[in-house]
């Protein structure tokens, strides 16, 4: 008698992400703004996936610093490692996150500055507050993505890195948009040692960090579907005219979409992105997945339901490539876990 073995999917997650939980993300006329990127985001996704019959949880493996150094520069790593303590040497107030008050313009000439004065060189915006646990949490997220990538090389059809903080806005020497280490880029770089890699970013916001990291490279295709950056963060990148440079010319594509984008518009755009990916014949796919595409997300302006998100997951899973999905954005807490479960379920069935 044959027993049906339901498909499973490895989920790589560590609770130490909770060390990074900034109390605010910037300032407005009324004072500090609470951060949307809270620890409860990852906890809610974890709780929702626990209720499925296919999620199989595993702790991340420590890959050391080398795979992270392959993407992020030493001055930037030193900044993240020391920013909070440098600030504490000047500030008596405990428990507050560090946000620089100055930002570097003439970056190369002035990078030799130390301490507080140097910090603004590495920040795109004020959402990337540094807390005592930020560096360790970012390391854990990168290792979760790397462990997921490793599982693909061992034969898994798909894996999910439940990463927090997210990563796709982080460049080689820049943090921004809640992102510190570019988890998807770190995993893609590591996987490129095993074959050709494509990165597909379906977060609501353009993956400007991933774009910048691979912009002049031909070995990793990067594709991003997102809201029009003329009206939406990150504003300075994500345009359709940005297609790579030098050896990377033609190896990056942006697909900006208007506010109010619904499923027919999204699927039409996704089809063009998938055609592009298939033409490059990759061995591995890395998906930066953000649930801020959901209709009720406070930071999004698309009109996509949970069923729509499931359909998007189905379309991508039909590429039938070994696929690592990396968690990026998504800020509507009541729906976040269920939305990720809906997106991931088709990939679990690949196994």
Instruction: Please write the tens of the pLDDT for every residue from 158-172.
Output: 999 999 999 999 999
pLDDT average, residue stretch 139-155: 98
- Residue 334, classified by CB atoms within 10 Å of its CB into exposed (0-12), middle (13-18) or buried (19+), is exposed
Q: Is 169 among the residues known to form the active site?
A: yes
- Distance from C-alpha of 266 to C-alpha of 139, rounded to nearest angstrom: 33
pLDDT at 112: 55
pLDDT at 68: 98
Q: 223-261 in b/e burial notation, b at 16+ Cβ within 10 A? A: bbbbbbbeebbbeebbeeebebeeebeebbbbbbbeeeb
Neighbours of 303 (CB within 10 A): 17
pLDDT > 70: percent of the chain: 93
Determine which of 15-29, 44-58, 103-117 has the lowest per-residue pLDDT on average: 103-117
- Distance from C-alpha of 330 to C-alpha of 42, rounded to nearest angstrom: 10
Residue 280 lies in a domain: yes
pLDDT at 295: 98
To the nearest whole number, what is the mean pLDDT of the chain?
92
Size of the chain in residues: 351
pLDDT > 90: percent of the chain: 80
Determine which of 52-66, 75-89, 142-156, 335-349 has the lowest per-residue pLDDT on average: 75-89
Neighbours of 315 (CB within 10 A): 15
pLDDT at 46: 98
pLDDT at 293: 98
Instruction: Please write the tens of the pLDDT for every residue from 231-249.
Output: 999 999 999 999 999 999 9
Residue 3 lies in a domain: no
Which residues form the domain of 108? 9-348
Residue 4 lies in a domain: no
Residue 218 lies in a domain: yes
pLDDT average, residue stretch 82-90: 85
The enclosing domain of 54 has a CATH number of 3.40.800.20
Instruction: Please write the tens of the pLDDT for every residue from 57-68.
Output: 999 999 999 999
Domain count, the chain: 1
- Distance from C-alpha of 262 to C-alpha of 281, rounded to nearest angstrom: 29
User: For residue 122, which of 73, 68, 71, 69 has the smallest C-alpha distance?
Assistant: 73
pLDDT at 104: 64
Residue 1 lies in a domain: no
Please state the φ and ψ torsions of residue 126, each to the nearest 5 degrees.
-95, 5
The residue from 168, 169, 251, 252 that is catalytic is 169
């Amino acid at each position: 008698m044959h027993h049906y073995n339901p498909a499973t999917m490895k989920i790589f997650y560590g609770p130490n992400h909770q060390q990074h939980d900034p109390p605010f993300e910037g300032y407005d006329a009324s004072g500090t703004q609470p951060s949307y990127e809270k620890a409860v985001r990852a906890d809610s996704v974890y709780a929702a996936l626990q209720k499925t019959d296919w999620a199989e949880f595993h702790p991340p493996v420590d890959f050391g610093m080398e795979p992270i150094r392959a993407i992020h520069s030493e001055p930037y790593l030193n900044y993240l490692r020391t920013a909070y303590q440098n600030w504490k040497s000047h500030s008596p107030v405990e428990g507050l996150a560090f946000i620089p008050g100055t930002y570097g313009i003439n970056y190369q000439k002035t990078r030799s500055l130390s301490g507080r004065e140097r910090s603004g060189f590495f920040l795109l915006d004020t959402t990337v507050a540094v807390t005592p646990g930020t560096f360790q949490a970012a390391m854990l997220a990168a290792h979760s993505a790397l462990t997921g990538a490793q599982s693909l090389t061992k034969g898994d059809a798909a894996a999910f890195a439940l990463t927090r903080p997210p990563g796709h806005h982080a460049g080689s020497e820049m943090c921004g948009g809640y992102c510190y280490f570019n988890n998807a880029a770190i995993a893609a770089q590591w996987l490129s040692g095993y074959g050709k890699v494509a990165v597909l970013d379906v977060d609501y916001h353009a993956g400007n960090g991933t774009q910048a990291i691979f912009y002049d490279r031909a070995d990793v295709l990067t594709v991003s579907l997102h809201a029009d950056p003329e009206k939406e963060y990150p504003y300075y990148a994500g345009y359709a005219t940005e297609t790579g440079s030098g050896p990377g010319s033609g190896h990056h594509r942006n697909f900006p979409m208007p506010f109010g984008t619904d499923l027919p518009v999204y699927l039409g755009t996704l089809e063009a992105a998938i055609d592009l990916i298939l033409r490059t014949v990759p061995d591995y796919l890395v998906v930066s997945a953000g649930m801020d595409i959901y209709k009720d997300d406070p930071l999004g302006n698309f009109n996509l339901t949970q069923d729509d998100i499931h359909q998007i997951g189905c379309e991508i899973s039909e590429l039938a490539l070994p696929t690592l999905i990396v968690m990026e954005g998504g800020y509507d807490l009541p729906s976040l876990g269920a939305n990720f479960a809906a997106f991931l379920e088709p990939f679990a069935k690949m196994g």
